[in-house]
Structure 1
Amino acid sequence: MKEQLEAILAEAKEALSSVKTARELGDVRVKYLGKKGALTAIRKGLKDVAPEDRPAMGQLINDVVAQLEQALTARGEEIERIALEEKLASETLDVTMPGKPIALGKKHPLNVVLDEFKEIFLGLGFSIAEGPEVELDHYNFEALNIPKDHPARDTQDTFYISDNVVLRTQTSPMQVRTMEKKKPPIRIIAPGRVYRSDAVDATHSPLFHQIEGLVVDKDIRMSDLKGILELFAKKLYGDDTVVRFRPHHFPFTEPSAEMDIQCYQCHGEGCRLCKGEGWIEILGCGMVHPHVLEVCGIDPNEYSGYAFGIGLERMVMGRFKIDDIRLFYENDVRFLHQF
């Protein structure tokens, strides 16, 4: 058996000398040390050896196994070393070359101006309110003094999910939700996505962003509304910004107005962007209608308030002198990289 063990060890070492891959190395290990390997078979044959010779023979088998394990490990390390040298030779790296620049993302222009808007009004003591885009008819219309037969519903071009569920056409529902949960004083802005079935052109999109503002407290007047909106316009567009207020009608405010800024493209001369008028409407506003306060459980004889709603896209177009709203949604990196 001793001669047999020596022959197996010599044969295994000879096989290892020609091994070049990890797979071939594994085949040699299985051939000699596996469950059906040559050395395993000899170990099983110890039962046929005389009892007095078994300890010595067992030790001999263990020595041969240890030598083979050592030879397998050494050959494996040699194969890894050769593979690494070949890889380094084929994949040369010039450490003096400059690294590749990492492309950094930028804020979308809508987010740039939205963040500026938030900073302006947070600095004025407002808080931010957020709510669902899929809204109940009650909050989107009825609580805002727009009953089912009101003509304003037709001009809103609403996406209906069911008779009582809509994609919100404005973020005004957050005014109602806030007044239901919180009693005056209230001072909030409510930014978010809104949806209307508008035709797509340079100034309209079926999906756009709106920011509503609401203040409810004692002794709130129209002059407070006008003053804060003029301040906001000059902070966002510059101190030379020219604004004007025009009488208007909204079901949820009384009196109501629209605020325009002088066209930033033609400076009042008239152009394609302002449709020849020289002015661009940017928001609607007014004093909160007493009925809206009553619906929300606020006594209109004790409290008054003002509200305004502004389209974020129009605001950004004015901020960056952009003349087509569609540019915001085309995801053209040549456009987006400018901001």
Structure 2
Amino acid sequence: MSFFKKLKEKITGTNETVTEKFKDGLSKTRNQFTSKVNDLVARFRVIDEEFFEELEELLLQADVGFETVMELIDQLKLEVKRKNMKDTAGIQSVISEKLVEIYEAGEKMDSKLNIQADGLTVILMVGVNGVGKTTTIGKLSARLMAEGKTVMLAAGDTFRAGAIEQLVVWGERAGVEVIRQSEGSDPAAVMYDAIRAAKNRHVDVLICDTAGRLQNKVNLMKELEKVHRIISNEVEGAPHEVLLALDATTGQNALVQAQTFKEATNVTGIVLTKLDGTAKGGIVLAIRNKLKIPVKFVGLGEGMDDLQPFDPEKYVYGLFADGLEQETEASDTIDK
């Protein structure tokens, strides 16, 4: 049985709405990447070195990342040799299988949020301006509320004009309270007030917004270190999550941002925003393989419920949905 068919059976019966969100959200990448792979398979009846060179180029164009591409190509060559594959029929199924294996290989990473069973959970949200950080906070708040959690927000981005008001708007949409001070206030003081308020009101989760002044790395680090220190002093083991919001449309530039924030604070997970707006969805694999940080959520649209927990199998389904469905239809026809 091909990996496509196994994948289809595995995701059948799971939340079909979420599966469709991955399919729709990755349509731009699929239309670009998969269509080119289809063309490549059509042109090369035989798997040879030239085929692998062109496939390598396609993967790089999808922003899978150089190191990940080299690893994938090496694994594909071994699998082709092991299965004694002479032609390109079925190669997409092998590619998809190896993509899942690469994401899940190595150090096991928990993609679930570290929500405390008792007491206050503090989530620190970091990322440069313009990546959709505030929008992500609003959507994450709504998701946690739907799960039965009480949520409060801390408006720690006191540097950017309009940031506090923007968070208040999202707080109102999600139905959560926002603790804030005036523009230009000390972010650490905002965090302190928010933690005290969250404790007094027995809130389950406090999500803290921060400024994203990447242009001055020293100031960014000092500010994040101070905020981190205040939070850890007030709540044992906090912050329980440091989520880095990255804009998927920036491709490899997202890796540079991630490295800077990783140096500034202990990033525990990535939220990849605007995945539906890019044809370079391979950045998910580059982040996982290069930075060794799990992608915990992906933005698959503009709706409140379009922030979804990342699932590597649904991700690969989204990349290869057309080929998977074609193979399933062909298999069903043969069975009849």
**TM-score category of the 2 structures, normalised to the smaller one:** under 0.3
More helix by percentage: 2
TM-score normalised by length of structure 1: 0.22
TM-score normalised by length of structure 2: 0.22
More strand by percentage: 1
Larger Rg: 1
